Amino acid sequence: MSITVRYFASLSEVLNKSEEKLETTTALDIKEVWNQLNPDKIMPNNTLVAINMAYVEMGQTVQIDDELAFFPPVTGGAL
């Protein structure tokens, strides 16, 4: 059983990967997933996360067979 993890934009570039699977038999919180897959990288502040294509708060639990996506913080500019 696994959790599919996707990385977008600059996170994908920094981590040198866009997708991977985490094999697990238990639910994990988002930070646990990050730390298991990226033990030598600190998650950037204000990283946005989505579970099954819905934005969630960082404290959410990721279930087996979920898709977890990490998006870098975004900033806007004046038009």
Q: Model pTM greater than 0.85?
A: yes
Domains by residue range for the chain, with CATH: 2-71 (3.10.20.30)
Whole-number Cα distances in Å, 17 to 22, 27, 29, 56, 78: 13, 23, 21, 22, 32
Average confidence (pLDDT) over 12-33: 97
pLDDT in tens, 52-64: 999 999 999 999 9
pLDDT at 78 > cutoff 60: no
Of all residues in the chain, what percent carry a pLDDT higher than 90?
89
User: Which residue stretches of the chain are H helix?
Assistant: 9-15, 30-37
Phi/psi for 48 (5° steps) reads: -90, 145
Given this model, what pLDDT does residue 75 score?
60
Average confidence (pLDDT) over 23-33: 97
Beta strands 28-29; 19-23: pairing state: unpaired
Beta strands 28-29; 61-62: pairing state: antiparallel
